[in-house]
Homo-oligomer: A and B are copies of this chain.
Amino acid sequence: MFEPALLVLHSPAKPAAGAADPVEPVFTQHDTAAPVANALDLGITRGDGIFETITVINGMPQALDAHLKRFARSARMLELPEPDAAAWKHTLLAAIDSRELVPEAFVKLLYSRGVEGSGQPTGWVWLAESGDFTKARTEGIRVVLLDRGYASTVEQTSPWLLQGAKTLSYAVNRAALREAERRGADDVIFVSSDGYLLEGPTSTVVLKLDDRFVTPRTTLGILPGTTQESIFEIARVNGFETAYEVLTPADLRRADAAWLVSSVRNAAPVNAVDGAPRAIDAELTEAINAGLASRTV
């Protein structure tokens, strides 16, 4: 058991070419109970920023480069200054080093446009021990399908809707989870207004369909899944084919197995859709989660 750690980056954006050497030290460690954010930070007033959550197994951040790549992609979509990957990496590793080794922790990167008018983005790194997700991983989760309201084409037609970016504007995702709870479920799979499976509020959908592992195409306006990518690697090593496809609720219902996959909780098998029970593959799920826990990158 350890106390959470909170580090504030001094210079979270990549310095301009030819700029002076970055400020040293790179971060300041703070008391987690103490306030660190200005009330006018655009991360608060407008949800104008991005984040990543990375699992840390025995001190090893998992799929770190994939997370940092997605972090940079979200920044581009929001036209935030490019994050300084080296500074973020240095800071998150320092957070991990500052605490004892535990089997499962997570580190959260928060990057906002900063205080309005300052032109200085804000960066925070938060490290804490993970909760116990044994029940979700073994018994599974009940999901409901909820309309996300957007057509599957919006990422191409309307980039200002920021679909596919991991933003600090997640009030809708939280509201969807409350709606799921009201319907007696644990989680949500969003469906596009034209009827395609998208993603969970904080997870990626993976199906085992006709003996292949499939996930919705990211061109539908969804996040590229870092945990899903790791699962696809594990699947391929074990002789399965993998594919990115356009999927429907009917595919979810006829799939041999279905999971919501994400950092921290890893693969949670779906045991019910809109109140209708469905089978889970306990053995395969265990193998997937064992594979995720033993990642070396």
Contacts and interface: CB of A to CB of B under 8 A. Distances in A.
B39 A36 contact: yes
Interface stretch (A62-70, A156-164, A236-244, A262-270): A156-164
Given A171-B169, A174-B48, A39 B40 contact: no
Interface stretch (A13-21, A145-153, A226-234, A274-282): A145-153
A283 interface: no
Interface residues of A, number: 56
A240 to B, nearest CB: 34
B171 A44 contact: no
**How many of these chains are in the complex?**
2
A170 interface: yes
A108 B43 CA distance: 15
A134 interface: no
Of the candidates A8, A147, A176, the one having the most CB atoms from chain B within 10 angstroms of its own CB is A147
Interface of A: 6, 8, 30, 32-49, 51, 78-79, 108, 110, 112, 124, 126, 146-151, 154, 157-162, 165, 167-176, 178-179, 193
